[in-house]
């Protein structure tokens, strides 16, 4: 899930719509709402956030360092002011990157992937057994051959890979794929997605790489 913070509702709604067309869950906040949420949100909700985009907000309302105190997700500033002084000020505030608007939504996603890749694995993928799982929207590879997956199933596999070695609950998977605030989709849809994903992986690998425990959640195994 991508979180967008901007005082202009038209802006947050616009970005949410564009991310939605790319199959990425998102949520928009005004500065005051965001400050309350990021301070009190459960850790499970924050772990579902892929990145924070900070737009036009009062400087004293949004602290990238406060965000980083609760989550390691990238913080990217979206700037309307094309000046060196403003760019340097934003970097000094603690953001990971500064993008000058207008910027294409796919460039934002590419920069998020690049930041996360630098902080985790320079190779840009996670190797689990014979599976090579990318974090930039590409289909996974099994034995160097692509395995085409529907968007939701691919994103679930990416999320499990990004938490390799740890169990994640159904709620955590749902929040990461559909967003914390999506009330139009039932959480049980995750079980259906994972069932279909397991079947495809089992056919290719000869075993089921998704270990599930009732009440405990899911994890990938080699």
Tens-digit pLDDT profile for residues 140-169 = 999 889 999 998 999 999 999 888 778 889
Contact 11, 78 (CB under 8 A): no
Q: What is the pLDDT of residue 11?
A: 93
pLDDT at residue 137, as a whole number: 77
- Domains, in order of start, for the chain: 2-119 (3.40.50.2300), 125-220 (1.10.10.10)
Tell me the pLDDT tens digit for each residue of 45-69.
888 888 999 998 876 678 888 888 8
Task: Categorize the per-residue pLDDT at 71 as very low, low, confident or very high, splitting at 50, 70 and 90.
Answer: confident
* CA–CA dist 209, 222 (Å, integer): 6
Q: What is the mean pLDDT of residues 24-46?
A: 87
CA 70 centroid distance within chain? 15
Mean pLDDT of 190-207: 94
Tell me, letter by letter, the H, E, C secondary structure of 77-117: EEECCCCHHHHHHHHHCCCCEEEECCCCHHHHHHHHHHHHH
Other CB atoms within a 10 A radius of the CB of residue 49 amount to: 25
| Cβ within 8 Å of residue 80, ≥6 positions away | 55, 56, 101
Sheet of 125-128, strands arranged across: 125-128, 131-134, 141-142, 145-146
Q: How far is CA 181 from the centre of its chain?
A: 14
What's the whole-number average pLDDT of the chain?
87
């Amino acid at each position: 899930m991508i979180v967008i913070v901007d005082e202009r509702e038209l802006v947050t709604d616009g970005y949410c719509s564009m991310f939605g067309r790319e199959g990425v869950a998102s949520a928009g906040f005004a500065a005051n709402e965001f400050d309350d949420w990021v301070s009190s949100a459960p850790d499970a909700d924050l772990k579902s956030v892929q990145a924070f985009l900070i737009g036009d907000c009062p400087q004293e309302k949004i602290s990238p360092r406060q965000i980083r105190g609760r989550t390691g997700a990238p913080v990217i500033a979206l700037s309307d002011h094309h000046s060196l002084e403003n760019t340097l000020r934003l970097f000094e505030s603690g953001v990971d990157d500064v993008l000058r608007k207008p910027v294409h939504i796919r460039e934002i996603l590419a920069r998020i992937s690049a930041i996360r890749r630098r902080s985790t694995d320079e190779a840009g993928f996670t190797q689990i057994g014979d599976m090579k799982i990318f974090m930039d929207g590409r289909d996974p590879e099994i034995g160097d051959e692509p395995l085409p997956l529907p968007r939701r199933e691919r994103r679930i596999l990416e999320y499990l890979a990004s938490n390799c070695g740890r169990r994640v609950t159904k709620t955590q998977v749902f929040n990461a794929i559909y967003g914390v605030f999506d009330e139009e989709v039932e959480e049980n849809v995750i079980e259906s997605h994972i069932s279909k994903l397991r079947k495809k992986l089992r056919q290719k690998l000869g075993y089921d790489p998704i270990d599930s425990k009732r009440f405990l959640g899911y994890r990938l195994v080699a």
